[in-house]
Structure 1
Amino acid sequence: MIFAALFLLAQAPDAVAECTDPTTQGEMNACAKQEFDRADAELNAVWKKVRGWAKKADAKLDRGDGQSGYAESLLAAQRAWLTYRDTHCQLVSFDARGGSMQPLLINNCLTELTENRTAELRELLVNQVSGEPKTLPET
């Protein structure tokens, strides 16, 4: 009985150290999760930069027009995007609903949309701050 429990622990998806050639569904799921975690960390790093810029821009903003500021608009957009991302990726995974492949589909979708959002935030930062398009260095 103890051997069986140890065997199952050894097969746990989180036990994958490298994701060069995952072969089992558990390994593929774990690697997809690792990839999403990487993309999410990058998004959070870019988010901090954009959020900092938005707060500084608000300090210089004339609020007499009744519109929301940069930071408020940015936060509302990010919250709406997070709701969209999570709901959309849940929907995309329904072909494998309840199956062992569902986490792979969810995490692949989350990674793709998160990488796209990170690029959008980089573009926003560069274009809003400088006024002309250019490339922001990767973080």
Structure 2
Amino acid sequence: MKIELRKGRSLFWQIALLAIFGTTSVSTQSPSFPIAQQINCDRPQGDAQVRTCIRLKYEASDRQLNEVYKQLMSQLSGEERSLLSEAQLGWIKLRDKTCEFEVYKSRGGTGYGGFLNECLDRMTKQRTGELEKYLNGFNSL
């Protein structure tokens, strides 16, 4: 789910939206089909299974990011929470637009969704690492 902020929306509502929707992307709106549970992503069979495994990998990374984000938010004061919330909203936009740009030339092709999810997965893991460093810094104090 992509979160768009409107001008004039209060910071309270921006933070509330982030808390409700987390850091998910528009790409995660695709349903998890029952067949996905039957796929062996160590040895996917065919392009459709490969694309499904790439999507599932990104969705797992996104869940991990949300967990770390929630843990970090629980360690912060009000102003810090507000700053992190704003930073995270900005990062989501940056990630989504960067990945759209990165895979732009493959739009319309059968691999587009897979390429997009690979980019989203990579950037999400990077962001999770950044947030984990902040979290570890707070925990070592």
Deviation at 1:18, TM superposition (A): 1.5
Unaligned stretches of 5+ in structure 2?
A: 1-31
How far, CA to CA, are the matches of 1:128 and 1:119 in structure 2? Answer: 14
Aligned residue among 69, 90, 97 for 1:87: 97
Using the size of structure 2 for normalisation, the TM-score is 0.70
Aligned residue among 23, 41, 44 for 2:66: 44
Where in structure 1 do 4 or more consecutive aligned residues deviate above 6 Å? none
Deviation at 1:23, TM superposition (A): 4.0
Is the radius of gyration larger for structure 1 or structure 2? Answer: 1
Aligned residue among 62, 75, 94 for 1:53: 75
List per-residue Cα deviations over 1:109-133 (Å, max 9, x = no partner).
01111111111001011224435xx
Query: Which aligned pairs between 1:1-139 and structure 2 lie closer than 5 A?
Result: 14=33, 15-16=35-36, 17-54=39-76, 57-58=77-78, 69-131=79-141
1:113 counterpart SS class: helix
1:33 counterpart SS class: helix
Match for 2:134: what amino acid? L
Match for 1:32: what amino acid? I
Q: Root-mean-square deviation (CA), in Å?
A: 1.7
How far, CA to CA, are the matches of 1:91 and 1:24 in structure 2? Answer: 27
How far, CA to CA, are the matches of 1:110 and 1:22 in structure 2? Answer: 20
List per-residue Cα deviations over 1:40-72 (Å, max 9, x = no partner).
111111111001111xx34xxxxxxxxxx1001
How far, CA to CA, are the matches of 2:104 and 2:56 in structure 1? Answer: 21
Unaligned stretches of 5+ in structure 1?
A: 1-12, 59-68, 132-139
- Aligned residue pairs, count: 107
How far, CA to CA, are the matches of 1:118 and 1:48 in structure 2? Answer: 11
How far, CA to CA, are the matches of 2:83 and 2:121 in structure 1? Answer: 24
Q: 1:137 — aligned with what?
A: none
How far, CA to CA, are the matches of 2:139 and 2:60 in structure 1? Answer: 26
